[in-house]
Amino acid sequence: MVRSTMEKLIEPEHKNETEFIFFSGKGGVGKSTMSCAAAVWLSRKGYKTLLVTTDPAPNLRDIFGQEIGHKITPIAGTENLSAIEIDPNIASEQYRERIIAPMREMLDEKSLKTMKEQLDSPCIEEVAAFDKFIEFMDDPGYDVVVFDTAPTGHTIRLLELPSGWNETLQNNSSTCIGPGASLQSAKLKYEKAISYLQDKNKTSFIFVLKPENSSLLETKRSSKELNKLGIDISALIVNGILPIEECNDDFFRNKKEEEQKIVKKIKSEFKSLPKTFYPLMDSEVSGIELLERVGRFLFSGEKQIKPSVLSERPATGSQDETSDFDVAINPKEIYKLLSQEDGTRYIFFTGKGGVGKSTIACTTSVYLAGRGLKTLIVTTDPASHLQDIFEQEITHTPTAIKGLSNLFAARIDQTKALKEYKKGILESVKDFDIDTKKSVEEDLNSPCAGEMSAFEKFMSYFEPKGYDVVIFDTAPTGHTLRLLELPSDWKGFIDIGTLTKKTSDETKNKYNNVIEIMKNNKKSTFVFVLYPEYTPIIEAWRASEDLKKQVGIKTALVAVNYILPKLYGKNTFFDNRRKQQNKYLSEIIKKFKTPLIKVPLLDSEPKGLISLKLLGKSIFENINN
């Protein structure tokens, strides 16, 4: 039997030599489903397989229907498959202990305390997660290790980390991730892992994307970034292709036509790569049996798959429970949460990657600016596409959006933010002694400085600038939570003596002021964006609860995206999807207990002011003064 290209790509060629398979891509494109399907398929073929997720908002437990967590856990229903969800908090504690343990007998209490404070730096979680991640590449003990990675920007940041350590290690400096001397062996281990990633015979990088322009652009950008690291994409899986036989009205025929344009671009942009086109299903993918069938479709060339008859997701609610959803919409309450009340209103749009939060954030900014409010929209997402939505360049400093006098946009550029941050810190210590200045310079060259500088820039938008509304289009959920937790992490880091007590207190006060503004519902509004399916709902719910418990921030609104139109898609396929949506709309109401905004599925991606205004009208048409 002739093996397919995808089958050859993921199936190990040599015994006693582990193969590594990475599934990556923009958030929300289905990479977790595809990586799980690949892992199940490989395990059924007899390969001892380990599935590892590095995503700070993992959902393997939801797909397999069992608890997994930060330990290697056998997956029920298949003999050769285990999985682990790397927990950044546990990984951080393990990392700190590995660094501190050898020093306990060598250092006094004061020095140990200083080291512990230093290891409370903001980038420890990323470095610790990467440290755990490469354990499975250095000595995995499996035939295949499948990595379900975080959304793309975060993944590339992890892979770039080791290259940023060279200068620190050469100078044997003390760093925010530990003493330079203790990192020498780690550096060798990391370089070995990177060499595996660059070896096409050992490692495959499969990108998952949707037939959408934003997903295509993100894949192109990521491909270029990976190429800089000497890593090539091995194949593409284009997920969610509309079945042409189900597109039997004008709305879905238009949507299919738009989709085909993107598919044509994908084929043109990535001519030499193997590509598999996976169809949109009329129900969700979960459970071993369905994952196995998805795997056979992807890697064995089996083209018949009907998940609706196999879906293992437990049903809750009924297909007719939409009345509660409509009742939950209170126009006056929603407008109050979005408009100026007591000074500047800060609105945060967050959620799982790929749920459309950038589009909804941009639409809201256009709507509010159109109502006479001077509005600024800022993206903190490293994989942002605001410039594509507004169809103009968005820079590191606020840029006027052409055609709407009250609207401005900015994109936090980490390179520029770091440059500004270094300049400001060095200026503040210019009159200090040489040793202090040298210590400050070492800190500014540590892997933490980039994340600190991005948050410093983020905080600058809370200073009075004359805007009525500031909208933040945030990174995918796990990364957003990390951003908001940073201030507490930095307190130890900025108190280790590199800065004066005065500077430290001023910095802490600024951080505390920002958090207090975000917690104040008269000044700030947190909006979770999701679509009515199990995984985005559960992930948003967990993140919402974490925000409340860890930071004290309550979710004020939920925007439910991709609501199927009632007038179109009148066939069994879309009826099944509509029933699924209605079931989950009821679940959203029960879990979040907040006002909801309905955002309709569109037949084309909104780009430019005209389409954003039309979408805004359809979302907010019932919201008046």
Residue 489, CA distances (Å) to 71, 123, 165, 547, 551 in order: 25, 9, 21, 15, 12
Q: Is the pLDDT higher at 456 or at 44?
A: 44
399-400/407-411 β-pairing: antiparallel
Q: Is 11 helix (H, G, I), strand (E, B) or coil?
A: coil
Q: How far apart are CA 110 and CA 116, in angstroms?
A: 10
pLDDT at 253: 96
Q: How far apart are CA 259 and CA 350, in angstroms?
A: 26
Predicted confidence band at 3 (pLDDT cuts at 50, 70, 90)?
A: low
pLDDT at 602: 92
pLDDT of residue 365 exceeding 90: yes
pLDDT of residue 504 exceeding 60: no
Q: Is the pLDDT higher at 12 or at 145?
A: 145
- Cβ atoms of residues 240 and 307 within 8 Å: no
Q: How far apart are CA 22 and CA 10, in angstroms?
A: 10
317: Cβ–Cβ under 8 A, 6 or more apart, which residues?
582, 583, 584, 586, 587
Q: How far apart are CA 373 and CA 344, in angstroms?
A: 10
Enter the tokens of residue 275.
């590509």
pLDDT at 153: 57
pLDDT at 354: 77
**Worst-scoring range by mean pLDDT, 92-101, 113-122, 370-379, 469-478?**
113-122
pTM: predicted TM-score of the whole model, two decimal places: 0.81
Instruction: Out of 166-170, 233-237, 431-435, give the one with best mean pLDDT.
Output: 233-237
pLDDT at 610: 95
pLDDT at 490: 46
- Cβ atoms of residues 409 and 377 within 8 Å: yes
pLDDT at 304: 64
Q: What count of residues does the chain have?
A: 625
pLDDT at 95: 79
Strands (DSSP E) along 166-234, which ranges?
A: 174-175, 178-179, 203-209
pLDDT at 495: 37
Q: How far apart are CA 611 and CA 363, in angstroms?
A: 9
pLDDT of residue 311 exceeding 50: no
**Worst-scoring range by mean pLDDT, 249-253, 534-538, 568-572?**
534-538
pLDDT of residue 223 exceeding 80: yes
Instruction: Out of 55-59, 111-115, 230-234, 607-611, give the one with best mean pLDDT.
Output: 607-611
Stretch 403-431: mean pLDDT: 86
pLDDT of residue 180 exceeding 70: no
Stretch 214-229: mean pLDDT: 85
Predicted confidence band at 81 (pLDDT cuts at 50, 70, 90)?
A: very high
pLDDT digits (tens, 9 = 90+) for 97-109: 877 887 777 777 7
pLDDT at 108: 79
Enter the tokens of residue 164.
């940023």
Q: How far apart are CA 174 and CA 178, in angstroms?
A: 6
CA angle 33, 39, 40 (to 5 degrees): 90
CATH superfamily of 5-309: P-loop containing nucleotide triphosphate hydrolases (3.40.50.300)
Stretch 376-400: mean pLDDT: 86
SS3 content of the chain, % helix, strand, coil (to 5): 50, 15, 35
Q: Is the pLDDT higher at 46 or at 304?
A: 46
Q: How far apart are CA 506 and CA 512, in angstroms?
A: 10
Class of the CATH-defined domain 323-415+454-620: alpha beta
* DSSP β-bridge partners for residue 84: 52
Q: Which amino acid is at 505?
A: D
pLDDT at 385: 80
Predicted confidence band at 546 (pLDDT cuts at 50, 70, 90)?
A: confident
Quick one: which of 352, 406, 380 has its CA closest to 462? Answer: 380
Q: Over the chain, what is the mean pLDDT?
A: 80
* DSSP β-bridge partners for residue 350: 528
Stretch 436-455: mean pLDDT: 72
DSSP string, 328-356: T--HHHHHHHHS-SSS-EEEEEE-STTSS
pLDDT of residue 598 exceeding 60: yes
pLDDT of residue 211 exceeding 90: yes
Which run of H or E residues covers position 325?
helix 323-327
Quick one: which of 183, 496, 151, 161 has its CA closest to 358? Answer: 151
Stretch 57-69: mean pLDDT: 85
pLDDT of residue 267 exceeding 80: yes
Q: How far apart are CA 326 and CA 138, in angstroms?
A: 53
pLDDT at 412: 86
pLDDT of residue 617 exceeding 70: yes
pLDDT of residue 131 exceeding 90: no
Enter the tokens of residue 555.
């979710």
Looking at residue 323, the DSSP 8-state letter turns out to be H
pLDDT digits (tens, 9 = 90+) for 268-299: 999 999 999 999 988 888 888 889 989 999 98
144-148/19-24 β-pairing: parallel
pLDDT of residue 165 exceeding 60: no
- Cβ atoms of residues 347 and 527 within 8 Å: yes
Q: How far apart are CA 380 and CA 396, in angstroms?
A: 11
SS (H, E, C) 95-138: HHHHHHHHHCCCCCHHHHHHHHHHCCCCCHHHHHHHHHHHHHHH
Q: Ramachandran region of residue 52, left (φ > 0), alpha (ψ -120 to 50) or beta? A: beta
pLDDT at 2: 46
**Worst-scoring range by mean pLDDT, 124-133, 241-250, 467-476?**
124-133
Count CB neighbours of 576 within 10 A.
16
Q: How far apart are CA 589 and CA 339, in angstroms?
A: 23
Q: Is the pLDDT higher at 482 or at 18?
A: 18
Q: Is the pLDDT higher at 28 or at 315?
A: 28
CATH 3.40.50.300 domain residues, the chain: 5-309, 323-415+454-620
Stretch 589-618: mean pLDDT: 91
Q: Is the pLDDT higher at 208 or at 112?
A: 208
Q: How many helices (H) and strands (E) does the chain have?
A: 24, 18
Q: How far apart are CA 44 and CA 161, in angstroms?
A: 35
pLDDT at 498: 41
Q: Is 497 helix (H, G, I), strand (E, B) or coil?
A: coil
pLDDT of residue 20 exceeding 70: yes
Stretch 354-376: mean pLDDT: 93
